[in-house]
Amino acid sequence: MKEILNVCVIGSGRAGMIHARNFTRSVSGARLYAMVDPVEETAETACKELGIGKYFLDYRDALKDESVDAVVVVTPTVLHKEIVVAAGAAGKHILCEKPMAMNESECAEMIEAAEAGGVKLQLAFMRRFDESFQYAKERIDAGEIGDVVLVKSLTHGPSIPRPWMYDIKKSNGPLAEVSSHDIDTLHWYSGSYVDEVYAVAGNYRCPDAREKYPDFYDNVIMSCRLKSGAQGMIEGAQGVLYGYDSRVEILGTKGIIHVGKTRNFSVLTCTPNGIDTPFVKSWQNLFLDAYLREDTHFIESIRKDETPIVTGRDGLEAVKVVNAGNLSISEKRPVKL
C-alpha cells in the first residue's frame, strides 16, 4: 500500500470543507489530493484556501484518476447512491456523509457496490467519534446503568433550511437532514435497531414553504419501539435560532446517563444584569474534533484492512427509520419497519 493515500473530497460545502481541511493537515497517512464541485468558481476558491491545485467539475473524472485512492462524498443526499456505486466500481474507498441515501434499496446497492469493488465503505455518523458520546457508550457497555430501557436524543439546528430541503421528495425532510445522527445514536446506545415508529410533525418557522410544500415540517417528534424491546424518543427541529443543541439521555434499569454540551465555552459570567454563558452556535464548532477522529479512523480502516466501526448497514438502518417516520407523519399512524 502507498505510504500516503490520496483523498478526493466530492462537495465543497460546510461539511466538505471540514473533511478537506482535516486531510490537508491533520490525518496521518493521507493527504487531500483534489476537490470536486460542479461550480468552477467554488472549486477554485476551495482549492485556494486548502493550498492544493487540483479540482474536478465532474466526480466521474475524479474516479478515472488512478492517483485517487479514496473519496469523501459530501453532496446532496439524492446524489449519494450514484456517486458511491461509481466509486465502488472504480475501486475507490468511500467515506459517505449522512444520510446514506434516499431509501433502503439505494443503500443496499451502495453496500453491494463497495463489497464488489473490494473497498471500505464508512458512514459519517461523527457523533460516534466524539469523546463525550464515546465515554457514555463505554459506561453503557460496562453495565453501569444496567439494561438500556430508553434512549432520548434531540437535535435543534439554528438555521432556516435551504429552499431545496423544503421538497421532502428530494431531501427526506428534517428526519433525514437533522435527525439521522439521533437515529444512529439510538441504535448505537441501545445495541438494537428500530422495529416500529410513530411520528408527528409540523411547520412552525418556515412560512415560505407552506404554500408550495404543504408537507414540509421543521419540527418533529418520533417515538420508537426497538427490536430489543427498549424504547426510543427522537426530537428534531430546524430554524430554532438560539444555537445548536444536541443532547442525549440514556435511561437504564439501574441509572441514567446524560450526554451533550450546550455551552460554547466553560465560562459563566455573573453581573447585576444577570447570568450569561455563550451557547453553542453551530455543529461545526461542537463536533470539530469528532470529524477529525472520524477521518482518521477511515484511513486507519483502509490501512489495517479492517471494517469501519460505522458501516453501510448502520446507514441503511437509519434511512429505513427516516422513511418509516415520514410515512407515519403523512398517514398519521404507527409504521412497523
Domain 5-127+289-308 coded CATH 3.40.50.720: yes
189-202: per-residue pLDDT in tens?
999 999 999 999 99
What are the residue ranges of CATH 3.30.360.10 in the chain? 130-287+317-336
What integer pLDDT is reported at residue 16 of this predicted model?
96
Q: Does the structure show a pLDDT above 70 at 43?
A: yes
Look up the pTM and report it: 0.92
pLDDT, mean of residues 160-179: 92
pLDDT, mean of residues 293-307: 97
Beta bridge partners of 224: 197, 232
Cell numbers placing 318: 437509519
User: What are the angstrom distances between the C-alpha of 294 and each of 23, 207, 278?
Assistant: 11, 37, 27
Q: Which residues contact 1 (CB under 8 A, 6 or more apart)?
A: 302, 303
What is the C-alpha separation between 109 and 169, in angstroms, rounded?
Answer: 19
Among 196, 168, 143, 8, residue whose Cα is nearest residue 77: 168
- The pLDDT-based confidence of 243 (bands split at 50, 70, 90) is confident
Cell numbers placing 289: 474534533
pLDDT, mean of residues 238-255: 94
What are the residue ranges of CATH 3.40.50.720 in the chain? 5-127+289-308
What integer pLDDT is reported at residue 287 of this predicted model?
78
- Secondary structure in 3-state letters for the chain: CCCCEEEEEECCCHHHHHHHHHHHHCCCCEEEEEEECCCHHHHHHHHHHHCCCCEECCHHHHHHCCCCCEEEECCCHHHHHHHHHHHHHCCCEEEEECCCCCCHHHHHHHHHHHHHHCCCEEEECHHHHCHHHHHHHHHHHCCCCCCEEEEEEEEECCCCCCHHHHCHHHHCHHHHHCCHHHHHHHHHHHCCCEEEEEEEEECCCCHHHCCCCCCCCCEEEEEEEECCCCEEEEEEECCCCCCCEEEEEEEECCCEEEECCCECCCCCEEECCEEECCECCCHHHHCHHHHHHHHHHHHHHHHHCCCCCCCHHHHHHHHHHHHHHHHHHHHCCCEEC
Q: Does the structure show a pLDDT above 80 at 270?
A: no
Regarding beta strands 256-259 and 245-252, do their DSSP bridges make them parallel or antiparallel, or are they unpaired?
antiparallel
Q: Does the structure show a pLDDT above 60 at 304?
A: yes
- The pLDDT-based confidence of 1 (bands split at 50, 70, 90) is confident
Grid-cell match 447585576, residue found:
272
How many residues are present in the chain? Answer: 337
Q: Share the mean pLDDT of the chain.
A: 94
What integer pLDDT is reported at residue 164 of this predicted model?
85
- The superfamily CATH assigns to domain 130-287+317-336 is Dihydrodipicolinate Reductase; domain 2 (3.30.360.10)
What integer pLDDT is reported at residue 274 of this predicted model?
75
pLDDT, mean of residues 203-225: 97
